Amino acid sequence: MADAPGEGVKVRVIEYREGPFVDREKEEEFLLDRFKHRPEKLLFIYGPKSSGKTTLMEYLVENVLKKDKSLYVNYVNFRGYAIVNYDSFLDVYFQPIEDENKPFIEKALEYLPISIGRFGGNVSLPIKGIQFGLNIELYDRLVEKKIDPFNLLLEILKKIRKKQMPILILDEVQILEGIYMNGEVKRRHLLTEFFNFLVRLTKETHLAHVVVMTSETLFLEKIYNHSKLAETSDFYLIGHLDFKQVQEWLKYEGIEDKEIVNLIWEYVGGSAHRINDAIRIVKKGDSLEHYLLDEAKIYRGKLSHFIAEMLEELDEKRMFKGILEEMLKQGFVVRDNENNLQRRVMNKAIEHEFLFLNPREERIVFNSRIVRKGAELLIEG
């Protein structure tokens, strides 16, 4: 691979969470540079599932952002909460300062006096986690829907901004889809209000940096095509690792045999957790070929199951096989917007994470190389 692009460029490999963390220097630089400037737009980070979005962000939060006293970081992964309704959403960000946790909070923090309209109260910054503490009266008004949580958050962030630049990071935000704000005569979508608020924070008031992360690209596509949000947002792809990065990672693990490196790349490409598994197999001395073929067979099985159970009629099943054939031949497919059947089938395959849609590109590709290998087994036998 002497002519491989990027040859000669050093790939960073460091220890993080007792394992190797490969590269992402370019992405890190992009993000840190962005945080140095005045907030202007929302940032959407997207990419195929397991490409390493969460890991990169958590690495940055722990090792860089939280260490910088000029920044206030509020990172929430909505996957970690059971958000079933509006009240459980409020619980993510707010908690009452009750008598039993009062000394704890008082010891740790100054209060921020807050007033919104005719309501006033005290708020404490989160001690651990991300929940702001509210004095009981304020908290009650919030849960009684007398106060808009976004107005409250805005006031809190204004106070914080006097000393620190707030950075809000929201992972797996699509989980909020389908939740309504209650206590309203007219039902409002929580996510719509949330995004309006995030636009206010960035484009309108420049109060905070906002990073929104998601693996669900059909969800992202809706945002990308939503005129207001598209105009007020930037979109940044974090994809799987490339060949050079994988090669350097394997080298770091003492794996330099070309055949082994190529075999791993051929089957799992730059999908980090699969590479981890392959490394384990090599180190154990088990048959890598056997293991990778088994993994591909699992994907063949998943694809068969998808065809059997998720695709409705014979025409959908045939269409999907046709799509796979085209993918294997040219590496990608393009959606035909006038073909409803094709669009429906592709969307299902994207939803089930066999295919990856980048809203900024026409080409739809396999979500990862192991899916391609499974498709090969299915189509070519």
Ligand X SMILES: Nc1ncnc2c1ncn2[C@@H]1O[C@H](COP(=O)(O)OP(=O)(O)O)[C@@H](O)[C@H]1O
Distance in Å, CB of 108 to ligand X, minimum: 30
- Residue closer to ligand X by CB (options 74, 245) is 245
Q: Which stretch binds Mg ion (CB under 5 A): 54-62, 250-258, 295-303, 313-321?
A: 54-62
Task: Say whether residue 271 binds Mg ion (CB under 5 A).
Answer: no
Task: Say whether residue 214 binds Mg ion (CB under 5 A).
Answer: no
Task: Say whether residue 54 binds Mg ion (CB under 5 A).
Answer: yes
Distance in Å, CB of 318 to ligand X, minimum: 32
Q: What are phi and psi of 295, to 5 degrees?
A: -60, -45
Question: Which positions from 265 through 284 interact with ligand X, judged by CB under 6 A?
Answer: 272-273
Q: Do residues 296 and 373 lie in contact, with contact meaning Cβ atoms separated by under 8 Å?
A: yes
Task: Say whether residue 54 binds ligand X (CB under 6 A).
Answer: yes
Residue number with the smallest Cβ distance to ligand X: 52
Q: Which stretch binds ligand X (CB under 6 A): 17-25, 156-164, 229-237, 346-354?
A: 17-25
Task: Say whether residue 122 binds ligand X (CB under 6 A).
Answer: no
Closest CA to 47 of 368, 372, 376, 370: 368
Task: Say whether residue 21 binds ligand X (CB under 6 A).
Answer: yes
Q: What are phi and psi of 171, to 5 degrees?
A: -100, 145
Question: Would you give the binding string for ligand X spanning residues 208-227, x where CB under 6 A is met?
Answer: -------x------------
Task: Say whether residue 75 binds ligand X (CB under 6 A).
Answer: no
Gap between the Cα atoms of 329 and 220, Å rounded? 28
Query: How many residues form the binding site for ligand X (CB under 6 A)?
Result: 16
Task: Say whether residue 24 binds ligand X (CB under 6 A).
Answer: yes
Q: Do residues 276 and 19 lie in contact, with contact meaning Cβ atoms separated by under 8 Å?
A: yes
CB neighbour burial string for 1-35, b if at least 16 within 10 angstroms, e if fewer: eeeeeeeeeebebeeeeeebbbbbeebbeebeebb
Bridge-partner residues for 181, per DSSP? Answer: 188
Task: Say whether residue 174 binds ligand X (CB under 6 A).
Answer: no
Reported as type and span, the H/E element at residue 235 is strand 233-237
Task: Say whether residue 52 binds ligand X (CB under 6 A).
Answer: yes
Burial of 169 (0-12, 13-18, 19+ CB in 10 A): buried
> Which residues 6+ apart lie within 8 Å of 186 measured at CB?
none
Interacting residues with ligand X (CB under 6 A): 20-24, 47, 49-55, 215, 272-273
Note the residues at the interface with Mg ion (CB under 5 A).
Answer: 53-54
